[in-house]
Every structure is written in C-alpha cells, then in structure tokens.
Structure 1
Amino acid sequence: MLGTPVDPTSYDYRRAALDSVHFARVLDRWWQNVRRAAGWNVQYAGAVELQRRLAPHAHFAIRGTLPRRLLKQIAAATYHQVWWPPFDELAYPVDKPPVWDVDRQAYVDPKTREPLPTWGEALDALEEPDSRPAYVARLGRIDARGIEQGTKDAERSIRYVTKYVTKDLTDQAKPRTDAQKAHFDRLHAELSVLPCSPTCANWLLYGVQPDGVKAGLTPGRCTGKVHQRSTLGFTGRRVLVSRQWSGKTLADHRADNRAWVRAILAGGMADIEEHDQPADDADGSKRYRFELARPEDPDVPPLEHRLLRSISARIRWRADLDTARLRTAAAVSATDQPAALAA
C-alpha cells in the first residue's frame, strides 16, 4: 500500500518520529554546510512537506551553480546531534507517571517517593568522557538537478517548488485508507510520548524532571506543536527563503506589495491609499507637516475610536481587494473562452 510500511511490525516508528522532530535543525545544519563548502553565501528558497509515508521532505531552489557530487557529499556528511538525557525506554507508563511533591517542590517516584533527577543533574551526567548523544538525526538522500534559465525545465521546476508554498504541511499525507490511518495513528502515538524540548512534560516518563519544572505537568499531554496531528513532529518554518534571495530590502517588498494592490484595484482603493500618503506640492515643498500627537491634544480621538477606525479601514480595504480580485479573475476567464463559446 502506497504510503505505508511493508511490514508495520518491524517499522522503526521511534526513529521516524525523531527524524521529524529534529528535521528543522538538520536543514539548518545542511545550509550551513553548503555555504561553508561552496565558499560563498548560497541563497535558497523552498518549502517543506510531508510525504505520503509521513516523512518530512523539502523542495528547494538554489541560486548559482554547485557540482552535484559536492552536494551529495555534503548531504552524506550532514547530521545533528541531540545532546539530551537518554530517552531510549519509558521509565514510567503514561497512566502512572511521577507525582508532584509539594514539600520538595519536585516530582517523585510514586512508589519510593524519591525525587527524580533534575534537568541540570541529568545534563551533568553527559559531561563524562564516554557520553554519547541521545540521538543523531541525518539528512538522508537528495536529488540535485540543474536548471537553465528560459527552458521548459526551468518553468516546470519553478511551478514544482512554489506549489508547495500554498499547500498545508500535511496535504500530501492525509490518510485515506485504513492502512494509512493506522500508520498515521501509530506515528502520532509515538510522538505523543517523545520529548520535544527540555521543558517538555514527557521527560517525566523517562525519569527526568524537565527544565523549569513546575506543578501540573501531564506527561503524554504536552501542548507543543511536535505532538499535534497537524504537524506530526515538524515544528520549524515550512516556507524557507534566505534573506538575500530576492536582493530586495523590506522597504522594496512593501513598495512592490503596494504597487500590486494599486494595479489590482485600478483606481478603487488606490486613490484612498494615495491620499493616506504624504504628497508634495508642485513647487516641491511638503504639503503636510507631521508631529507626534499628544494625549491632551483636543483633535486626538480616544484610543478606542482610533482602534475601531483602523479595524474598519482594514475590513473595507480587504473587501475592496477581494472584489477587485474576483472582477479581474472573471475578466480573464471571459477572454480565455474559445471563439465558438464566446459567440
């Protein structure tokens, strides 16, 4: 069955869950290694999705040229070490976790009443020379392809990468069959008991008090994004674009957005926004002079009125923009009709 293990009984769900949890950090390490190996500030843009088998998968476009052999070598050498206390096996079941001791202000064993090691004590144990990381996440395989500007492959690749920007993380991974649903539930069950961070309540299940311990922690019920069914372990940013990908500043992007809105509205809201901006007179002198408004100024309305006015303006602008979009889409679809239908 597509998207499910061949043998679910032997499938390593723990490893699959941990790879999802730490995939974002592996990606960060990958781009660090790429830039170090290339010797220049590599720029990239792409998005992360879940495959049907529920493994995180990324699609990226890189500006510039790098040998495929080099990229594969970097991928093989990219990994992330998780230096946390060991969490190989559960020390306590979910239904019988450690309990909070008010007098000691710590979680204790429900039978012996001995306090669990604190987070600091657990980290101190990792200072031993023979200590090893709790887990090592590796990048895996990559499929690097060259793209030449102006070719059909370039257009197809751009559509292939950008289509994931508008999709949800789990669009491709929604279970449809009973086998896929069972696979989805099994992976989510594994994620529900794994620690997601040093402050995760699930550390109590492994005999360690989480960092910043406090009363009221419920193991197996951590509210972190790692444990949610909508993310299945992935917690990083889904759309990743390097800062210098477009070569534009934030002010440039704002100007582009404003120009796009004005082009769509074609004189509707654009006129309103034009009046909202400072304009110059014909002789080049400033038409308006701005100064900081003070609360005691008689022409300054109350804060509640200003907030409601801003909200009303935003709602009106959004409605005008949606109307203009629909009008533009209708005009384009009408011009795209065949001649026989148009007649």
Structure 2
Amino acid sequence: KVPVWSPEVGAYCDPASGQPLTTWQAALDALDDEDATPADVIRLGRVDARGIEHGTKDAERAIRYVTKYLTKDLVDNTHPRTDPQQAHFDRLHAELAVLPCSPTCANWLLYGVQPDGVKPGLVPGRCSGKVHQRTTLGFTGRRVLVSRQWSGKTLADHRADNRAWVRTVLAGALADDEATPAEDANRYSFELARPEDPDVDSLAVRLMRAVSERRRWHAELEHARAASSPTGTAHLTLAA
C-alpha cells in the first residue's frame, strides 16, 4: 500500500482514503509537542561527548586516530566471509532498505510522511543514498556528523569558528598590532582557467604547490601558538 502521487493535490496520498500524507513541516512541528514521545528509546549508559577542539592537548592524537579508520577500505570491512555473516548482512540490508536516510529520502512515504522537498516519481526502497547500498551498507557518506541538538552549530559554523581561532592566533603573534587591515576588494580578479592556457601548471605541480602551502601555513600557525604560549615552546607536527 505504497502512497501514490496526486497531481491535483501536488502531494502523495494514501491509496485507500485518498488523503494527503503528513507534510514534512507538520511532522517536524509535531516533534515540538510536549506530549510527543519517541518511537524507540535505546539507553547506552554514560557517553563522553567532549569532541575535538583546537589547541587542546589531545587534539592532534585524536585526529590521527580518527583519520586512521576513516581511510580504511569500507568495502573490505563490510564483506561477509561466513554463512552467519552473510545471513546477518542480508537481514541488515533488508532493514536499511526501507529506513529513511535523510529528510529527502523516499522511504518516508512508508511511514506516512512526505519527504522534504517532495516531488513525483519517488519510490520507497529505491533511494540512491549510500546507506542503503550493499557495498556501502550503513555508511551515510559524510565524514563529519554534527548534532545540532548538542552544539547548536552547523558545519559552516564550526568552520567559521576554526578560521576565527586561526586569525586570532596569527594576529597576536605575527602582526605588529591587534588591528587587522581590511582587504582591498580589487586586489584579486578571477577568470575561468582552461587546460590549454600557457599559465596553468600541470596537475602534479599544482598539487605539490598546495601541499607546500599547507605545510607553510601549519608551520606559521605552530610558530604563532608557541610565541603566544607561556612557555614559548613550539611543538610542530606535520601530517603526511
């Protein structure tokens, strides 16, 4: 009994009653109801959600640890090698095939809710998200997941905080005064570069230049941090 698209209403409707499904915004508003309760509750005990912050003692070590596992081959980790593993994998795939993976996932239609940005042609169970695919089963495709319920910030907010922190450290250690000069809006001009342009270097040269620039930025940042610290000792760690 999959909901069907109604061109007259411009929404998905229940095939039996013909009534439109709950809109995405109405479903979100229902979550704010004081009497609303979650469908499932899983208690995992105490969770230490400190996160990783610039300038902390364990930041570099934690980033190296996380990066180690992020770069592992996902397909090898999910490949079943025994019959019990295969049976578990098949059951998990069947479950994830009908669970919503994002606000725009077509699987919301199976739960009586129209996906965000609803449009005709959605088929539940055929979402192209990585979380549903057998080779990337359960993997959402994002390297960083920010919970707004915890921090109240988006990824863009965190990037802005990081940039502000870097500017603060560099301005205090490398500039003659605390004032940051305003950039000239006409300092740069941009145009689309083409591979045949004589002033466009090869990809290998551009990659090596980018790596060199990142290493220089890192060295300047570590120097600024050391100059502004009470001990004045620099600890330089460059990622390979």
TM-score, normalization: structure 2?
A: 0.51
Work out the CA distance in 2 between the residues paired with 1:308 and 1:135: 61
Cα pair distance change 1:225/1:173, threshold 3 Å? closer
Q: Count matched residues.
A: 162
Give the equivalent residue in structure 1 for 2:235.
none
1:222 to 123, 127, 131: 127
SS in 2 for 1:205: helix
Work out the CA distance in 2 between the residues paired with 1:110 and 1:131: 27
Cα pair distance change 1:292/1:136, threshold 3 Å? same
Which 5+ residue runs of structure 2 have no aligned equivalent? 48-62, 147-157, 160-164, 168-186, 209-240
Work out the CA distance in 1 between the residues paired with 2:117 and 2:190: 43
Indicate the percent of aligned positions where both proteins have the same amino acid: 59
1:237 aligns with 2:113: no
Please list the CA deviations of residues 225-265 of structure 1 after superposition, one character each: whole Å capped at 9, or x if unmatched.
Answer: 3222233223241799x99xxxx969xxxxxxxxxxxxxxx
What is the Cα deviation at residue 133 of structure 1?
A: 2.3
- Whether the 8 Å contact between 1:203 and 1:209 is mirrored in structure 2 is yes
- Whether the 8 Å contact between 1:118 and 1:209 is mirrored in structure 2 is yes
Question: Counterparts in 2 of 1:100-111, with a 5 A limit?
Answer: 100-111=5-16
- Whether the 8 Å contact between 1:165 and 1:239 is mirrored in structure 2 is no
1:128 to 29, 33, 47: 33
Letter in 1 for 2:194: E
What is the Cα deviation at residue 201 of structure 1?
A: 0.9
1:198 to 103, 113, 118: 103
| CA radius of gyration, larger in | 1
Work out the CA distance in 2 between the residues paired with 1:135 and 1:294: 52
1:176 aligns with 2:66: no
Cα pair distance change 1:133/1:313, threshold 3 Å? same
Work out the CA distance in 2 between the residues paired with 1:186 and 1:217: 24
Q: CA RMSD in A?
A: 4.3
Cα pair distance change 1:306/1:118, threshold 3 Å? same
What is the Cα deviation at residue 129 of structure 1?
A: 3.0
1:212 to 99, 113, 117: 117
Give the equivalent residue in structure 2 for 1:113.
18
Give the equivalent residue in structure 2 for 1:164.
69
Give the equivalent residue in structure 1 for 2:194.
304
More strand by share: 1
